[in-house]
């Protein structure tokens, strides 16, 4: 894409791509600073929280709140201060010159003095029909978010990496028993993490095991498993099923211009949200594969807006 290709174009000082806690927080700060931000929601307005039912760990909601409702509150607050929230998907970018060119829905070009990337990450799933149907009804991709709801109950977690081990250990502190489903006869996790789960009496590792189905009509009641070595099928009763097979950052369209790690997470200058491209900032799960919480995403969204504001101020001097 070359600058000025699209017939339909406009110029903005701050363009925010993505509408989770990071994007909306960036919008609130940018709007209050008089920067008239434009925010494009992306394909999942509200981000990952819209597929989360109860959010109980975000400060300020003592009774908890439903994920979609919380993101609606974020959106209203951003709009109250003058953010233009638009539904649309960024399909192409050109960060080779400023203003940066961003194409929306393959049609409209926005020329932006600063761009805040808050496109988030998507959990990888097993791809089972029952997994989709029971999502939020016992199926979750975040043990730290949802483990509390299964206090004293038996649960399962799928995965074999450090995150899966970490989440299994976390669940073992809360739940009466944790089945850890590992596809092969070994784990990808570091030795120290493997030892932690192997030595935990509450965690039972099921090696060479694949999940055939998650059982339950309205909520999770059990799982059907296949042992790939013996070909034996078994059913185990559980009330929570956690998937920890990784996340995929939604950063593909930026690859040509933005420095990322091998997994596709955007690299930012430590202590800031600055990327390798001047005037482009990244916040939330698109650049954070460690914490991945709504509250940390919101924090980096605030940082990105302040970084963008300082960058614009430096241009005027």
User: Which residues are designated catalytic?
Assistant: 142, 145-146
Whole-angstrom Cα distance, residue 103 to residue 189? 40
The answer to whether the beta carbons of residues 19 and 67 sit under 8 Å apart is no
Q: Which helix (H) or strand (E) holds 46?
A: none
The answer to whether the beta carbons of residues 205 and 223 sit under 8 Å apart is no
**Three-class secondary structure of residue 146 per DSSP:** helix
Cis (ω within 30 of 0) for the bond into 99? Answer: yes
Whole-angstrom Cα distance, residue 33 to residue 83? 11
Whole-angstrom Cα distance, residue 284 to residue 304? 10
Please identify which residue in the block is written with the tokens 């509450």. Answer: 202
Please give the biggest Cα pair distance in the chain: 71
Using the 8-state DSSP alphabet, how is residue 152 labeled?
T
Nearest CA to 206 among 158, 163, 243? Answer: 158
Residue 271 falls in which region: left (phi positive, over 0), alpha (psi -120 to 50) or beta? left
Nearest CA to 213 among 129, 141, 157? Answer: 129
Whole-angstrom Cα distance, residue 198 to residue 179? 11
Six-digit token string for 255:
């690859």
Could you report how far apart the first and last alpha carbons of the chain are, in Å?
31
- What are the backbone dihedrals phi and psi of residue 282, each rounded to the nearest 5 degrees, phi first? -130, 140
Whole-angstrom Cα distance, residue 120 to residue 19? 9
């Amino acid at each position: 894409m070359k600058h000025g290709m699209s017939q339909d174009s406009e110029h903005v000082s701050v363009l925010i791509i993505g509408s989770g806690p990071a994007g909306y927080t960036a919008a609130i700060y940018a709007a209050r600073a008089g920067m008239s931000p434009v925010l494009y929601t992306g394909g999942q307005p509200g981000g990952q929280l819209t597929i989360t039912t109860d959010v109980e760990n975000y400060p300020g909601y003592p009774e908890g709140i439903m994920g979609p409702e919380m993101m609606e509150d974020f959106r209203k607050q951003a709009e109250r201060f003058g953010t233009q929230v638009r539904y649309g998907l960024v399909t192409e970018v050109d960060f080779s010159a400023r203003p940066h060119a961003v194409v929306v829905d393959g049609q409209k070009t926005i020329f932006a003095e600063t761009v805040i990337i808050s496109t988030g990450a998507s959990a990888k799933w097993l791809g089972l029909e029952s997994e989709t149907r029971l999502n939020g009804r016992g199926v979750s991709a975040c043990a730290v978010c949802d483990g509390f709801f299964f206090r004293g109950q038996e649960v399962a977690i799928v995965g074999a990496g450090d995150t899966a081990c970490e989440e299994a250990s976390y669940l073992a502190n809360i739940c009466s028993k944790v089945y850890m489903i590992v596809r092969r006869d070994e784990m990808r996790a570091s030795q120290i993490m493997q030892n932690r789960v192997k030595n935990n009496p509450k965690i039972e590792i099921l090696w060479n095991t694949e999940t055939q189905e998650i059982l339950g009509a309205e909520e999770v009641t059990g799982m059907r498993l296949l042992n790939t070595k013996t070909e034996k099928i078994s059913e185990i009763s559980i009330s929570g099923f956690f998937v920890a097979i990784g996340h995929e950052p939604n950063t593909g369209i930026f690859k040509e211009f933005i420095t990322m790690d091998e997994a596709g997470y955007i690299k930012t200058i430590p202590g800031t949200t600055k990327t390798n491209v001047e005037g482009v900032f990244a916040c939330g799960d698109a650049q954070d594969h460690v914490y991945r919480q709504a509250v940390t995403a919101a924090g980096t969204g605030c940082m990105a807006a302040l970084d963008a504001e300082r960058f614009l101020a430096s241009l005027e001097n």
